[in-house]
Amino acid sequence: MSTSQSPSTDAESGFRFVITPRYTDLDTWRHVNNSALYQFHIEARLQAWMATFGPESWFADSLHLRPLRTITQYRLVTHYGADVHCRVRLLEKSIYHYRVRTELFQHQRCVGIQDTVMGVFDGGERHPLPESVVAALGEPEAGAEPLPASPVAVVPAGRGGYPIGRTLTARYADFDADSLRAEAASARYMEQARFGTIGELDFGGLGILIAALDMTFYDHRPVGASADLLTGVSRIGNSSFNVLTAALSDRGLHTVADSVMVMIDQASGRPTPITDSLRTQLERLQVNLLD
């Protein structure tokens, strides 16, 4: 993606930035791909950080600022050929984390929102935020609603609870500029695991979109030579279902994601009920959730 060179910040509206989608950001439906949109949120977050802490604050040699949890809402389809305007707002902070909300707008409509809880890691261990960082972040907006309960409380601890497992081979492109596992790579892992599950289903002519993605990060060290991508269906509703995905290696869980998938009528683009045939297929893929 290309980005503007003139970000702005004001007390009322927060940090603002512009991103131009690239042709390579498109998916097979000719929309901006959900993983590419996730990267727009990362870029907006990082540009806001640099506006606060300086142009060289994007890299670190010891303490690393990384997400603990992200909740991404895909509000509307995002198209190629028009800029995406980003806004970043601070919602809360403590000595151990802070939370920002990034909002994406195209044609003056909100196409996506992401709440991100950021923390500090060093060698896979959590650390408090430096006092200078806590002070420089400023005061968060008042009245921010709490985050919903995390789905990780019911996530199976091992491989046996998931109906589908595939081996993930780590790639050089999965490293970020600090030689850690890139946040964008984790999002792509979850997308690949999700697609490996739903790509084999017979939708009977219906379309499908991702509506929300809730990701929890346990650490950001590289997964090693290989890891398992584990997948299953955790909830089946009327017109939507949830896909639970996890990246697991001998070091334990790396990332867990809960994705809300919505069935749509391809002619109208509106949500439509899950058919009996599809419901039967989904029931065969259910995860053994913890009590």
Instruction: Report the CATH number at residue 136.
Output: 3.10.129.10
158 and 286: one domain? yes
What's the total number of domains in the chain?
2
Domain end (from 147, 167, 192): 147
156 and 167: one domain? yes
Domain end (from 106, 124, 147): 147
Beta-bridge mates of residue 14: 10
Domain end (from 89, 112, 147): 147
Global confidence as pTM: 0.92
142 and 1: one domain? yes
Q: What is the CA radius of gyration of the chain?
A: 19
104 and 183: one domain? no
157 and 204: one domain? yes
222 and 90: one domain? no
176 and 216: one domain? yes
Sequential pLDDT tens for the chain (291 residues): 555 545 555 545 689 999 999 999 999 989 999 999 999 999 999 999 999 999 999 998 889 999 999 999 999 999 999 999 999 999 999 999 999 999 999 999 999 999 999 999 988 889 999 999 999 999 999 999 999 998 887 888 778 889 999 998 888 999 999 999 999 999 999 999 999 888 889 999 999 999 999 999 998 988 877 889 999 999 999 999 999 999 988 888 899 999 999 999 988 989 999 999 999 999 999 998 886
194 and 262: one domain? yes
Domain that holds residue 281: 149-291
139 and 153: one domain? no
pLDDT at 226: 84
99 and 84: one domain? yes
87 and 174: one domain? no
pLDDT at 66: 96
For 25, list phi and psi in degrees, rounded to 5.
Answer: -85, -5
228 and 239: one domain? yes
